[in-house]
Amino acid sequence: MILRGHGFFNLWFFLHIAVSDQISYTRGLLIIPFRSGLDYTRFRYSNQANLWRRPSVKKEYGNEQVYFVGGGIASLAGAAYLVRDCGFPGQNIHIIEEMKILGGSNDGAGNEEHGYVIRGGRMLNDETYENLWELLNTIPSIDQPGLTLREEITQFDDANPTRSKARLVDSKGEIQDVNSMGFDMADRLALGKLIITPEAKMGKARINDWFGPHFFTTNFWYMWATTFAFQPWHSAVELKRYMLRFIHEFPRIQTLEGVTRTPYNQYDSIIMPLHQYLEPLGVDFTLKCTVTDLEFKEGDGITVTKLKVLRQGVEDVIEVKEGDRVIITNGSMTEGSSLGSMTSAPRLNGKGSSWKLWENIAAKKPGLGNPSSFDDHVDESKWESFTVTFQDSKFFDLMENFTRNRAGTGALVTFKDSSWLMSVVLAFQPHFRNQPEHVKVFWGYGLYPDKIGDYVHKRMCDCTGEEIMEELLGHLHFEAHKEEIMATANCIPCMMPYITSQFMPRLNSDRPQVVPEGSTNLAFIGQYCEIPDDVVFTEEYSVRAARIAVYTLFGINRPVEPIKEYQHDVRTLFSSLVTSFR
């Protein structure tokens, strides 16, 4: 493709895509190679394509053991890769979890009587969650025999496609026209500069170091920030990665059509099937056990020799022998979370075991990261969510009439003038496996919990569940229905001090490599290890890290699904350019 001339159109187009040395700009011509090998259509995996992915490694592992620290999706995925791709015996895999339940941040619990809770909701994406989909395409559905988990999710999502008709709502309770991103020329140039600047030159720059005040008043910022939970003081590097990774979503950010949903919350739809897949294989799940520290072999290398643990308050030691591996989820975005109730506000907790473990081992060996960049800035990493349970459909009926979306098809509704920057989402019902038909559950959150409310003159973090509902009903202008709605509402607020800590400004060395240099038996997985070009705060990042860790530690010569580079697709780029001028 060749573009002639030197106008601003060409300049912006050049800035928007000049992210590699494969683009040349000479004598007034911008020459862009088209990567025909990429599949830019809606991304689906075929189960037939994965038939070859059966244990093919012919190796005797003897008494070798693998210890996963943390019971979230990264560890469950790692255990699945060990069994599936390494032929590793399930009974030699140990998943050690501090809580009494697996899933980590992929949670979902409760009942009709006491109310349901999901600390955070996760939006999946067909085109970019390459390793998650590949894995789930080999995990059987527990609800539909004969289907894989991937096929089940695809079937559900196709039947309930997302297309938001009420993405932003103003202070008058009116749905905003968000077809325009609202950029001025300075915003476009700053965004182009962000995209073409190498990460190494950006350091610990914040988003508000790159953009002027106008940028943070645009429709784009309100939508992008609340979709991915960015704040102005977060890392400009992470925003850059998101812009490149999800550039195909930029032209449809106002409708969130790229969102892929699971039939239930992520615990019921992903964690439970993974657990049920691994348990019959003999995988050991050690719950209510906290790993407090690691001991290393003396010398320059990195070899774990012991795990120090607390088993229900009793100190113990797990010996790590030659041939054993240790795979750690370092840090946690939901650690220290606290629940309130209709009559009480949640409290703000401090560091827990996962952060302390990372701090302990990082102090012993170089190359294991710098947790302080993530866990010492609670005022900049916290926000508050809330889950509301109703005994009838009144609120849902009103919301469906207001938004013109039935529950499960609208994604986020953001109140752009809310001092808390509050958003809510009504998922397809039921959202929990044990949820009765008459019960309705929705989730919401506020990005600015320290701000005073617009209808309840208190900070969000000081509000009870009843007061949060009062604030929400004020923004919706549902006052006439308040008594009827509140009669059956049970709003459970949740304060999460580290929920966006992975977005904090950082140096490249602050996150350890998945397998650090010099490591013989230690790997890191989860949201706080470093994977070039990929984006944290996603299921994909955890699963990709797990796959890299297992394949590297076990010398598996098998490819990890590559990151799809939509920034090299001319059609996506052209659509993004047009969107930036809407």
Active-site residues, by number, are 242
Environment class of 155 (CB within 10 Å of its CB; exposed 0-12, middle 13-18, buried 19+): middle
Backbone angle region of 477, left / alpha / beta, with phi > 0 → left and psi within -120 to 50 → alpha: left
Rounded Cα distance between 385 and 206, Å, is 24
Rounded Cα distance between 409 and 259, Å, is 10
Is 513 in a helix, a strand, or coil?
Answer: strand
As given in the structure block, the two tokens for residue 401 are: 């009439």
List C-alpha distances in Å: 346 to 24, 89, 132, 155, 340: 55, 43, 33, 38, 4
Rounded Cα distance between 217 and 256, Å, is 20
Environment class of 376 (CB within 10 Å of its CB; exposed 0-12, middle 13-18, buried 19+): middle
Contact 24, 31 (CB under 8 A): yes
| β-pair type (383-390, 338-339) | unpaired
Backbone angle region of 254, left / alpha / beta, with phi > 0 → left and psi within -120 to 50 → alpha: alpha
Residue 161 half-sphere exposure toward CB, CA atoms < 13 A? 6
Contact 537, 229 (CB under 8 A): yes
Contact 447, 421 (CB under 8 A): yes
SS (H, E, C) 206-268: EHHHHCCHHHHHCHHHHHHHHHHCCCCCCEHHHHHHHHHHCHHHHHHCCCCCCEECCCCCHHH
Environment class of 312 (CB within 10 Å of its CB; exposed 0-12, middle 13-18, buried 19+): exposed
Contact 64, 87 (CB under 8 A): no
Rounded Cα distance between 473 and 230, Å, is 25
Contact 500, 231 (CB under 8 A): yes
Alpha helices (runs of H) in 327-418, residue ranges in sequence order: 353-362, 372-375, 378-381, 394-403
Is 286 in a helix, a strand, or coil?
Answer: strand
Rounded Cα distance between 389 and 109, Å, is 12
Rounded Cα distance between 541 and 44, Å, is 19
Q: What are φ and ψ of residue 206, in 5° steps?
A: -95, 160
As given in the structure block, the two tokens for residue 254 are: 């106002």
